[in-house]
Structure 1
């Protein structure tokens, strides 16, 4: 009886396990179907909201604008410039393919020959060096023309490349072998002025009256009637006029001006005294027999004794009443 009860328990337990598995499978299927329905609902709602936000007219307008922008961009494209750039690129690539591909021994041989040719040429004379190189280049072209190979063994293709380099790519060949030669520039100055004619210097200010007898780069000596340190004038003509006016207004017994000295340089004028003479100083002087202090240029001996003295006399002067 106990054995029968045990068998009945095992049989009823197996049935319960099978029914539990079936229930679990059913619940999982129901959950899966519910999940699919929820996902479909979200997808439908999202698509409906997007489709409702765009009308057919707005979509057509956007397509039209895109086509218009593409058309404008194509019209503004610099086709001529693009074609020219492509053409230049092809030419450059073609030139690169034609570039120097001479073997290293050939380049070393050429460099040795050029250096040997330049041994007897003055290193400081660029003209002679270029003449020697031109002669060597001409002779080398003649050797290539007369023979298919040079003294060193090279192929016919390399001989053709060397010939083309010597003819058209001579600067590139010089650079390849490590030789650079500066170009000589000869400037010939052509002076068509007469021998005795001097350069005309422009005197700032109003025109100089003829009675002033102005002389550039001149400093006359004399007794000071009016010190220029405190007497400035806008121009040399004004300084001369001041001398003429002083001579007219001078009272009997007073010194009358007959020499004017003016500083036209913006940087001031040199003088061997202790003062600093500035631009537009106007000195009024008097001398019965005017004598020169300095004229045109300071002498070399004077500049040796006065290191601050310039080469050219900066003052300009004139004698009036002559």
Structure 2
């Protein structure tokens, strides 16, 4: 009896399970599972999409802040170098135009012109003056222009130039002559007329030249633009001093401390020029050189200005004597 009840219950459970696990219900369950999976995938995709940008907050400025901003803009505009910018633009246009002109003449034609002018100057010789060279080059230019014009009229090729080269050379000789000379390496300076004007009133005192450094004692007897001769007591190339006063003091100290039999300094010569001082020897005399010399009878080498004859024989000599010196008074 009990076994029969158990079998009946087991059969009833199987029947209930079979009724629930029908094909329709299984299909519905699978569809629901797919729908859930699709929803999960869609949610994950939407979470990866970029979030829309947040709306920027509108900042409201006060009237005072707006006024200061407008004032700042106005000041910046007024500070702009408008004239300088325009000048730079004009210069760029000029440079482009000059560059275009330079490119008009072919290289071979420039070489021909350069060879003819160099040969012309060589024929003049080394003793020719600048005026003669300038006149010869200008005469060559006028003759070349005449030949080009004559060749174009007669349709001749005696210039050994094509028609295009002849036109280009004519344009360069007429309008770009100085540019052409610069391109071939020949520089002819323009003539400068210099007129000296003496507008100084009569009896006007000369301006006193300022000597750098402390004042010199009266016994130094400093003389500007002066160079005294004498036997060297101290070699100036290796004896720089900060000022003329220091140089004179070095002479006084040497004379005071000289040993018996040594030369005693009684002449000092100083180079106050920052560009150095000229001397006809082989050395380069620099600023602050201090020479200590001795002479029983001091003699001037140069005073105030070098003569024209001296400067003709010494081309590097300046007009004014750069040294200053003095003879120590006893």
The TM-score bracket by the shorter chain reads 0.3 to 0.5
> TM-score, normalization: structure 1?
0.44
> TM-score, normalization: structure 2?
0.44
